[in-house]
Amino acid sequence: MSKDFVTKNLEKIIKESYENYVKEWKNSSYIKVPEFKNAYLERNITPIEQKYLLIHKLPKLHVENPEMPKMLPEIPIKLLRKLPIYLNKTLEIQINDDHLEYWAWTAEVFNEYKNKVAFFNDIDEEVKKAIFTLFHACLMELMHPPVTKETFLLNNIITMIVSRHVQNVVLKKYLVAAPLAFLVFESLIKNLCKHYNTIANLRERIRLGFLLKNKFEKETLPMLPEEFKANIIEFNDTIEAIWGDGRKKWYNIISEWRNNLLHGSKTWLPKVYGVITNYICLILWHFIPEEEYEKNLKSIIDRIRFSKEMTLLYGEIGRHFTFYPP
């Protein structure tokens, strides 16, 4: 079975799984909200998650067909570049464990290549710090889904020993992660435009709406490699389909979110950090060198396994500088 066949077959499975995920959630009675797309839901675990999320589905697919990946890092890079498109569709419901898995792996791989790729070398070091801080903010969790007596007791202990200030920040992490996401996103879009010579200076003051509509979509997007361009266009289409109300363009939606949040006119934008982080991941993955990544994949995974073993000996300090697993 060829790699391309596996990729196409797996993509079809992911697309159908995520479509069914959204459909079943909308028809379920697990949580009642006026509108899923504007509700802050994260990591609610139901039989729907067990049925459709990749973290549960991939191991089963691998048993049925050993050529299928058994975990997310083994998904072919061409599909990892497209995964934000499909994850974005599930954001209509909630931020689920597949998001955390994907964000953690993206952060891990970016950390590996941050000084090895020309485009990444052009990113300001402070922006790189912001990228890693954003991923930490997206991945921070305190409580565990109380599915067993042990996790229920563990949550009680956490509540007693962790600072109430930390607990409140984690509980409202969408307020922390969203401004960070916009900072990183705007910087990456400017770097992308400069990379293709559609802006001259990264410090040039440009309104986000003008940057996205004119400098990025009209001038830069046509110059991107076909795969990259097609994935960006499809990703933008998901934003319009879910949050555009049938009339708004993707760049208007993102600009409105950013201005409402940073100017304080509307802070209840709970899904925004997920959408923008997915967009950031899509951009980063298109600059990861495919052949080198596939050649080095095993050594990256081996290093993570070693780090995980250190965690068993030394606790979280053993994997202080790693992101995966989340």
The predicted model gives 138-165 an average pLDDT of 85
- The length of the chain in residues reads 326
pLDDT in tens, 167-217: 889 888 989 999 999 999 999 999 999 999 999 888 888 999 999 999 999
Domain edges within the chain? 3-319
User: Once rounded to an integer, what is the mean pLDDT over residues 67-76?
Assistant: 95
Rounded mean pLDDT, 240-254? 94
Whole-number pLDDT of residue 322: 79
Q: Residue 28 above 80 pLDDT? A: yes
- From the list 105, 109, 24, 12, the residue with the least C-alpha distance to 57 is 12
Angle at which helix 77-90 crosses helix 3-27, to 10 degrees, equals 10
Q: What is the pLDDT of residues 75-96, one digit of tens each?
A: 999 999 999 999 999 999 999 9
Q: Which of 65-69, 158-162, 187-191 is least confident?
A: 158-162
Q: What is the pLDDT of residue 46?
A: 94
Q: What is the mean pLDDT of residues 46-72?
A: 95
Q: What is the pLDDT of residues 286-322, one digit of tens each?
A: 999 999 999 999 998 888 877 766 666 556 555 556 7
Statement: residue 144 has pLDDT above 90: no
Beta bridge partners of 42: 95
pLDDT at 158: 86
pLDDT at 49 over 90: yes
